[in-house]
Structure 1
Amino acid sequence: MLLKDIRDYQILFLSLFLILGIGTRDWTLKPEIIGTAIATCIITQSLFSFIQTNKKNITFPPLTNIRSSLITSLGLSLLLRAEDWKTMTLAAFLAIASKFVFQIGEKHFFNPANFGIISALVLTPDAWVSPGQWGEEWWYGLLFIGTGGMVLQKIGRWDTTAAFLSAYSLIEAMRNLWLGWTWDVYLHRLMSGSLLLFALFMVTDPRSIPNARIGRIIWAVCIAILTFILRNYFYLSTAVFWALFILAPLTILIDQVCLAPRFIWSKKTFQTTLTEV
């Protein structure tokens, strides 16, 4: 049943952001590109799930596949831009495939949408990310924080967002003071809709981040530091995505040091004791 799983709200909010971006920010998104992302994610997730569950002789509820793949496809549609539908197909396929290929102990450590974005940037000539696509209007930030906060409260991963944003904001503030810049420059660097979307909906993916709270905080602070370095010393506009990609494998090490139960989606929702892949 819809809206009985927190991922239903994620799908609803991400769809709203996509419609809002197209309607209010004059995004030049082609419907066929969005459709390609959704179809490729669903088909790839279903194919890999079918292969894996057949090997284990178990059956997953169909909505499990649809929810997971829809979230990834909407994330790609919101953040990744491509001129050719084949580029989005490649990004979507690799995003979902990464969950099944790069995993240890049935836990994947790359965020699917982030893996697809980096793959498209590296492997294709026409993919790009536009960090400033949301502008600096304050009501976008309130909308992202309100909806993202609702999701994080349900899944209990607000600490990751708080650690990332606090660490990154503090480092940027120290740099701003050191250079003697005015505070409007500081606010300009932080008022990014894409940064908030990343902090609220990507870096908090409960299936790929460290299990223990202390581990998540350490991991998020490391991502904030690397983001700062890549953005200010290597001048990468996509620094936040590269930081998450580079440090994703660190999750495995942290889980070995900071022991905690692995995140499991609500059993009541699926009426099963099996965990989602």
Structure 2
Amino acid sequence: MAHFISLLPAIWPWFILIAAQIGMVSGRQGLGLALLAAFLGSATVLGLLTPLALAITAAGLLGAVGLRRLTGVPAVFGHLVLILWCLALGAHLIPGFHNLLVLNQVQAGPGSAAFTMYLNLDKPMVLFAVLLAWPGMIHGARLVRTGPLLIGLAALPALFALGLSLGAVRPEIVLPAWWLIFAFSNLFLTCLTEEAFFRGYLQSVLTSKIGVALGIAAASLLFGLAHAGGGPALVVFASILGAACGLGYYATGRLWVPVLMHFGFNALHLALFTYPGPG
């Protein structure tokens, strides 16, 4: 807690960003966009965001709104452009976003590898764009399909078992002093954004075109490939996690279900196993 409090003077703009995210996913689009505008203005004044990055963000958001009016080939092209824009932001390829370094070569425990973490400005913009382009992702709640949900939930401990058997993780029960900033960032800036993009948007689009099974499989594989920087094993693990979260979303139609599945998996990984892997 002390570590988190010490960061408050630097991280306060992200509270506005997260409030904007919550507004959007709760269906209060006007409030969410107003808070987003306040965040972008604050970030620009503070030098966290350059005018170029602001312009690229605005162009992507306006383009996402326009997508809803397109049909046929223009719609396909527009969605491909949006996907590339989202992937570029998620991979931190767009200049002008000065993400804040909050953890620098820290270890969760003595057996864990050191890692670094930033509070991202660029990646969370993806959430707003895909919600503007595909607002139905938060309005698709249905009666729960128990079977797919249970399979998805069962896949999470099975994934830990697979990781243990392959030596990708080792048991290490520890709660580092910086756990709260990790949870803050991971829940909202990582899990919520990634689930909105890969499950709420990509999986929804794909299942509407190629069917449920292929749609979930394709979105899960793309989620795995997005983690290719961590090596082939991570691609496999992430694909399985993506499939589990995909089943959670398909079974309920509620975006918060895969978000909590994803975050719960990451939180247990941090608390019970070497994170992000053995040192």
Same fold per superposition (TM over 0.5):
no
User: Could you say which structure has the greater relative contact order, defined with CA pairs below 8 angstroms and 6 or more residues apart?
Assistant: 2
For normalisation by structure 2, the TM-score amounts to 0.31
